Chain A
Amino acid sequence: MQKSATFVRKEMLQAQEPPTSERGAIKWVRENLFSSALNSVLTIVGLVAAFLVIKAALPWLLHSVWNANSLGECRDIIAARYGEGATGACWAVVRERWHQYLFGFYPQELFWRPTMAFGLMFVALAPVLYYGNQRVNTIMTGVVSILTILALIGISLAFPQTIGGVEAGALAVLVAALVLGGLTAVAWLAPKRLLYFTLLYPAVGFYLLWGGSIWGPIGTLAGFAVLVVVYNLTKGQLGVVVGTGAGVVAAAIWWLAIQSHVTGALHSVLPLGTAHVDSDEFGGFLLAFVIGVTAIAASLPMGILLALGRRSDMPLIKALSVGFIEFIRGVPLITMLFTASLLLQYFLPPRSNFDLILRVIILVTFFSAAYIAEVIRGGLAALPRGQYEAADALGLDYWQAQRLIVMPQALKISIPGIVSSFIGLFKDTTLVALVGLHDPLQGVTKVVRAAIEWKGIYWEPYIFVGLIFFACCFSMSRYSMYLERKLKRDHR
């Protein structure tokens, strides 16, 4: 028997643990915080800066006071509780003035109307935002309904009102429960039908916010009915193009010439309606949302048309689009707002006098549409030429090609840009304070800070307003990321 000279290991050795410096938290710290001299310095500087901020802000936040009637009282409470010289946040200002931040100078007994309009807005948006995702759709409608009803109950408790012996808040909650319950049932049983409510929402929202005679919004809706009827009647004989034109002309005649007489007559026969609220009573986040949401909804279609116009083969259309876009992008938004408040009175017919909020919405829409047009033009330019040629080869006409082939792809590419324009627009609604509207930032905060009991307060109101804006804008940008993921078609 021969001895083997070499040693051959038969079994595998157990893997040893990595050295302590190469595992666990130590490894992570070494790699992520102290990988080089520069990184170590940066880490320490960053930590020190964060520590200083927290050291200043944390006691201030921990010493918050929610129950007080003035800044002086707040300071007294803080001094009594935490000793002389202690600093603390005085959130009592938010507690006392929250309704002004949310609704401005809207009549208190009507707070349920903007609340309802806000809740219904999300119900109307659900089928658009989560198109094709019926489960999310239904859940969102249900959740929004519950939240709206809770908000209404809260408002009716905060501002108890009785009209003719009946608790007005309870009545509003009852109406809201019925309407929202019905909508949730629709969302549950026939989710596609909810889109009809979306189409109807602008009129509903307008009526809830401004109130007045019910015949005004109905008359405006009737104009759209006239459009559809005339289009359907003439389409057979004259074709789609002339039919559309005839419909638009007929609707315009209805809106401009006939509507006011008809609605006036109807109102005198059957005066249905609710209390009217003037535009200058709007304020706070209500105003920001009215301007922001309307302008966002209106500027997207306008931006699409402008982008198409800019890429058109027709020189005149192209020149007009380019002129419009470049002019608006060249001037600051403030000049547009001042145009709305000062110059429109020169450009419109004498003695015509329409609402400042409406004028501001129109000009903000123009402003945003020009930026969105440029974003969409980028999306259109990014589309390969083959897509247009394929659409032509299939025999699609211009609008069919745009609707079925080009726009779905171009819009998908431009989603991040469009959403960041929307975020910019929503932030820019604060500028309306400069033309005398009561936006949450300048308008309302100025009023609050001018009040004798809150003189000298600055961090708390601005942090409150900033947080709400942050929540809105941040959720918009997260939604755009969701949409990008959902619409992603390439498999990389």
Chain B
Amino acid sequence: MAYVASAPKEPFRLSMLVYDTRYRSYTIQIVVLFLFLAFLAWLLNNTIENLAAKDKDINFSFLFQRAGYDIDQQLIPYTNDSTHGRALFVGLFNTLIVAFFGCILATIIGVFAGVLRLSGNWVVARLMTLYVETFRNIPLLLWIILAFVIFSETAPAPRDFRVTDEMVAAGEAPSAHKILFDSIAFTNRGMNIPRPYLDHPLGSINVLDVPINLSGLAVLALIAIGMWVNGRLLGHAKAVQEETGIRPVTWWKSLVVLFVPVIVLLFALGLHWEIPELKGFNFQGGINVAHSFTALLIAISLYTGAFIAEAVRAGILAISRGQTEAAFALGLRPGRTMRLVILPQALRVIIPPLISQYLNLTKNTTLGMAISYLDLKGTLGGITLNQTGRELECMLLMMAIYLVLSLIIASGMNVFNTAMKLKER
């Protein structure tokens, strides 16, 4: 027997729009929509009026005009006769290369620091705490500028490397030396590192006006094939182990598959290194890596590494103590416990904050502006903007590019996250 009768139908009154929860949300949304549209219209109207007052229009054709400025570090060919659009891509690649190497370095530093901070070793744990707290509590900009200033003001000038006849006669050594087997020259004008040089290169093809180096492509292809074969090898070993309980020896096969074909190919292509030499007033030959790049990379990796260390530590602490105890009870050593039991589980906790640290790192590369590193912010949002005076177009385009970049990184890492997730049946 149902006592529940439908509520008596009230006639609709205007006040119900505000006081009846059934209608209130519609009222609120309509009001908000109205306000939002009014706000947009106001912005648009202001923009149009302002543009008219300055006698400007919205026009992206400047991207196809001559840029007329030089960029030191270029991953695709660029001269000051190239267009602003090409400068944009040079800047974008400069952003990406710092972000890429920064993510790798920061991950390595962060994982080591995070694990070591939890180690039973008193000295190491304290040192890592010191590292993390120092870098987390001081602005990134300070680290970037400090690194840059130290590199460019304390490094020796190129003339300090010079060995003159008088010095040889007097038995004096120059005040500065190249480091790492006499191959890298670290001067106050930048770092000169050896350049790989091929005697019989495979040549290059142009795709969209960007030359693609076929030799490099061949090496990459061989590495990819090697990794695939190695994967098959390990899969086979695992299958054998599950079948028989004995794991076949794979380490030398892996080494052969991964390295021998690449070494053979490089030998066939005639690889040798072009070592930077002091000629005239500066080092010639090799690749010149600007201090702005090195300083930005080192500062950003150490800074983000401290945050990743905290994420790693939190992830490890989130795994219950019972897991460690169970592993010890099985007789695993502490190193293996960490590697086989704790880290795989902690990884699931670590990945989401890791994603946001990668995103932060990518966005923080814009701080390279303070030391005139010409990334996307420096080219499109810096020199191009100042030369063409098209603030609106440059800023909107730049924001759109960063937005797309963030979305790509976030979605890529999210795919990884889903793949690593605990699969519950």
For residue B366, CB closer than 8 A to chain A, the reply is yes
**Cβ–Cβ contact A314 & B124, under 8 A:** no
Tell me the nearest residue of chain B to A420, going by C-beta: B136
**Cβ–Cβ contact B139 & A428, under 8 A:** yes
**Cβ–Cβ contact A442 & B370, under 8 A:** yes
For residue A348, CB closer than 8 A to chain B, the reply is yes
Distance between Cα atoms of A320 and B123 in the complex (Å):
51
- Chain A interface size band reads 35 or more
Q: Which of B33, B124, B149, B399 contacts A316 (CB 8 A)?
A: B33
Distance between Cα atoms of A434 and B127 in the complex (Å):
33
Residues in B whose Cβ lies below 8 Å from that of A26: none
For residue B392, CB closer than 8 A to chain A, the reply is yes
**Cβ–Cβ contact A343 & B335, under 8 A:** no
Residues in A whose Cβ lies below 8 Å from that of B205: none
For residue B138, CB closer than 8 A to chain A, the reply is yes
For residue A313, CB closer than 8 A to chain B, the reply is yes
**Cβ–Cβ contact A473 & B136, under 8 A:** yes
Closest Cβ of chain A to B328, distance in Å, is 14
Count of chain B residues with a beta carbon within 8 Å of a chain A beta carbon: 58
User: Which stretch (B48-56, B186-194, B235-243, B281-289) binds chain A?
Assistant: B48-56
Interface of chain A, main secondary structure = helix
**Cβ–Cβ contact A473 & B51, under 8 A:** no
Tell me the nearest residue of chain B to A241, going by C-beta: B18
**Cβ–Cβ contact A317 & B28, under 8 A:** yes
For residue B413, CB closer than 8 A to chain A, the reply is no
**Cβ–Cβ contact A441 & B141, under 8 A:** yes
Closest Cβ of chain B to A475, distance in Å, is 10
Distance between Cα atoms of A302 and B33 in the complex (Å):
19
Closest Cβ of chain B to A72, distance in Å, is 16
Residues in A whose Cβ lies below 8 Å from that of B392: 343, 346
Tell me the nearest residue of chain A to B310, going by C-beta: A420
Residues in B whose Cβ lies below 8 Å from that of A46: 121, 123-124, 127
Chain B residues 370 to 420 lying within 8 A of chain A, measured CB to CB, are: 370, 377, 381, 385, 391-392, 395, 398-399, 402-403, 406-407
**Cβ–Cβ contact A430 & B363, under 8 A:** no
Tell me the nearest residue of chain B to A43, going by C-beta: B123
Residues in B whose Cβ lies below 8 Å from that of A313: 25
Q: Which of A331, A345, A442, A462 contacts B402 (CB 8 A)?
A: A331
B binding-site residues for A, Cβ under 8 Å: 18-19, 25, 28-29, 32-33, 36, 43, 46-47, 49-51, 53, 116, 119-124, 127, 133-134, 136-142, 145-146, 149-150, 153, 334-335, 359, 363-364, 366-367, 369-370, 377, 381, 385, 391-392, 395, 398-399, 402-403, 406-407
The 10 closest A-B pairs by CB, nearest first: A473-B137, A332-B363, A427-B139, A330-B406, A32-B122, A330-B403, A332-B366, A316-B29, A46-B123, A342-B391
Q: A33-B122, A46-B123, A433-B370 are in contact. List 6 more A-B contacts (CB 8 A).
A: A316-B33, A332-B366, A334-B367, A427-B137, A441-B145, A474-B137
A binding-site residues for B, Cβ under 8 Å: 31-33, 35-36, 38-39, 42-43, 46-47, 49-50, 239, 241-242, 313-317, 320, 327, 329-335, 338-339, 342-343, 345-350, 423, 427-428, 430-431, 433-434, 441-442, 445, 456, 458, 462, 465-466, 469-470, 473-474, 477
